[in-house]
Amino acid sequence: MESLPSGSLSYSELVIYGACETGKGRDVEENLVNATYNAGVRTVIGFEKSVWNSETNEWCAAFFHAIAEGETIYSACYEADYYIANNWYNPCNPNVEITTDSWYIAGEEYITLTNE
Amino acid sequence: MKRFVVVAVVLVCLTALLISCGQTVLDWERTPVEGIDFDLYHIQVSSGTEDGAFKTETVEPTGYYSEEQVESAEVETIQLGKRNYKVTLQKIIRRGQDSEERVFEDESGTIECRLLSLKQSFRIRAKTGFLSAFDEQTVLSEETLKDHALRFLSDYIELSFIENYDYSCTTRDAVHTPNAAWGETRDEFFIPPTDNPSDETIEIVYYSMTYSLYCGSYRTNDYVTITFDPKGNIRELLVCFTGVDWSSVRLPNEDMLQKKAIGAIKASLNSNYRYEDSELVSQRITYAEDGKIFITCSYSVKISRDGNHDYSTLCAVRITFDKE
């Protein structure tokens, strides 16, 4: 990512890394989210913690559902959190703690994504 | 004799009335675990990565999940703890083979009630507004929030019921800076400082208080969680009760179990990957509806591929105790 020329991704609106520790250190450390944002993407989302694949996939699905409903990026993160908290609790099968609540956004959080 | 017959008839009629109203007769008794040999167990590793590092399949924490919408206008009365609600059944959620959740909506349409098939377990959630208002004249603090929680809870369960439970409080917030934002969960009650000199803005999303029962150092699936909005109004209550007398559970030495769990993780790696280090993220002991008991430990595991490129991944290790 660092080898890309500055601004080479400036035509990209949104990138989401549904993978472990892509936002580790948030805005103060080097991580994949910050590197992608610095390459010109308007908004980049990753996760501070190690995350479960299947949980992250469901989080992303809920996120994009909210985006399609016209929510802002921040509100969509909030809606996806709510979806996971509401659907992933199960006292009979508490395999894992929730991990997707560690999302990190670099860039503009209050924009909506519309088809133009 | 005649008096006995009259009493018996009255009792039968009352029971029939309760059944016809669809009420849940609550039973908060705990019974010892029987028929499980805690020296007999098997260990299963589930990895959280799909990159081929592990021989095991990717973990599916919720497993099988299905929703059945119910078209019923029939109003019934359900009892949640000490409270009765007039509700209509909306849907049935099935998770795994044995777990079932019946989702109801109250007459006003503002409260959702869920009856879980795990013994006496239920969840109540305000769909709009809140379940119980925080007194606006009172200063919001951990203690005043706790008082509010216990007053609310006493409408549902006897408070003596949670005397042996461990208390914890978390704050879910979102931090906003000019060019970034993130969500974080703090293991404490937190009020953002009003004189914050940095360019960060901290927004409280919710507070949560949990009373949990432990078996050794493992959290059981006997717990009570109350969730508040940022103003201290109660939005949600979850009561999970297994009916298990956890003091009757005789677990093997915990250090030995940890070593075996780490050993199982190492053994489940493919040959070109190497275990470097791991950190325990959570550990729980669970009573399932099929009568099985299992311990689930989540680890953040650092592994390397072909001697370089360290990275971390999540692993769940499940230790299942078998029936005799």
On chain B, the residues whose CB falls within 8 A of the CB of A77 are 181, 183
Tokens of B299: 């680890």
pLDDT band at B18 (very low <50, low <70, confident <90, very high): very low
**Last residue of one domain, picked from the residues B188, B223, B241:** B241
Contact A106, B180 (CB under 8 A): yes
Pick among A92, A103, A109, A110 to test the B interface (most B CBs inside 10 A): A92
- Is the CB of A92 less than 8 angstroms away from the CB of B238? no
Q: B139 and B237 share a domain?
A: yes
H or E, element range at B258: helix B254-268
Using a CB–CB cutoff of 8 Å, tell me whether B50 touches chain A: yes
pLDDT in tens, A40-50: 999 999 999 88
In a domain, B295, yes or no: yes
Q: Is residue B223 part of a domain?
A: yes
Q: Does B258 lie in the same domain as B235? A: no
Q: Is the pLDDT of residue B3 over 90?
A: no
The Cα B90–Cα B112 span in angstroms is 9
Q: For residues B196 and B149, state if they share a domain.
A: yes
pLDDT given for residue B195 in this prediction:
82
Question: Encoding tokens for residue B215?
Answer: 């078996």
CB contact, 8 Å: B318 with chain A? yes
B206 — pLDDT class (breaks 50, 70, 90): very high
Tokens of B165: 């439970």
Distance, in Å, from the CA atom of A81 to the CA atom of B227, rounded to the nearest integer, reads 15
Enumerate residues 6+ apart whose C-beta is below 8 A from A82.
Answer: none
The range of the structural domain enclosing residue B174 comes to 132-241
Quickly list DSSP for A17-38. --STTTTTTTTTS--HHHHHHH
Give residue-wise pLDDT tens across range B172-189: 999 999 999 999 999 999
Last residue of a domain, one of B213, B241, B269: B241
Give the least confident one: A36-40, A106-110, B91-95, B255-259: B91-95
User: Same domain, yes or no, for B188 and B223?
Assistant: yes
Residue found by looking up tokens 């929510």 in the block: A71
Q: Which residue has the tokens 């603090």?
A: B141
Mean pLDDT of chain B: 85
Q: Would you state the structure tokens that stand for residue B269, as one six-digit string? A: 């790696």
Is a pLDDT exceeding 70 seen at residue B63?
no
Give the residue from B198, B224, B241 where a domain finishes.
B241
Contact between B107 and B131 under an 8 Å Cβ cutoff? The reply is: no
Q: Is residue B256 part of a domain?
A: yes
What is the model's pLDDT at position A51? Answer: 86
pLDDT of residue B60 exceeding 80, the answer is no
- By DSSP bridging, strand B201-215 and strand B218-228 are antiparallel
Of B312 and B48, which is predicted with more confidence? B312
Least confident of A95-109, B39-53, B245-259: B39-53
Chain pair A-B, CB pairs under 8 angstroms: 126
Which residues on A lie below 8 Å from B50 (Cβ)? 53
DSSP for B28-58, written as a single string? ---EE--SEEEEEEEEEEEES--SS-BSSPB
From B99, B153, B103, select the one nearest B123 (Cα to Cα): B103
CA angle B180, B183, B188 (to 5 degrees): 130
Domain boundaries, chain A: 14-107
Q: What's the maximum distance between 2 C-alpha atoms anywhere in chain B?
A: 87
Instruction: Confirm whether B42 is domain-assigned.
Output: yes
Best to test chain B binding among A43, A47, A93, A110 (most B CBs inside 10 Å): A93
Residue of higher predicted confidence among B63 and B65: B65
* Predicted confidence (pLDDT) per residue in A29-82, tens digit: 999 999 999 999 999 999 998 888 878 988 999 999 999 999 999 999 999 999
- Classify residue B95: in a domain, yes or no: no
Q: What is the mean pLDDT of chain A?
A: 88
Is B166 a domain residue? yes
Question: Does residue B56 or residue A24 have the better pLDDT?
Answer: A24
pLDDT band at B13 (very low <50, low <70, confident <90, very high): very low
pLDDT at B26: 60
Closest CA to B72 of B101, B94, B111, B105: B105
Establish if B278 belongs to a structural domain.
Answer: yes
Number of domains observed in the structure of chain B: 2
In angstroms, rounded to a whole number, what is the distance separating the alpha carbons of residues B63 and B44? 15
**Residue B6 confidence (pLDDT):** 52
| The predicted structure's pLDDT at residue B309 | 73
Q: What is the pLDDT of residue B23?
A: 47
Task: For B282-297, write each residue's pLDDT tens digit.
Answer: 899 988 877 888 898 9
Q: Which residues in chain B (135-194) have CB-CB distances under 8 A to chain A?
A: 172, 174, 176-177, 179-185
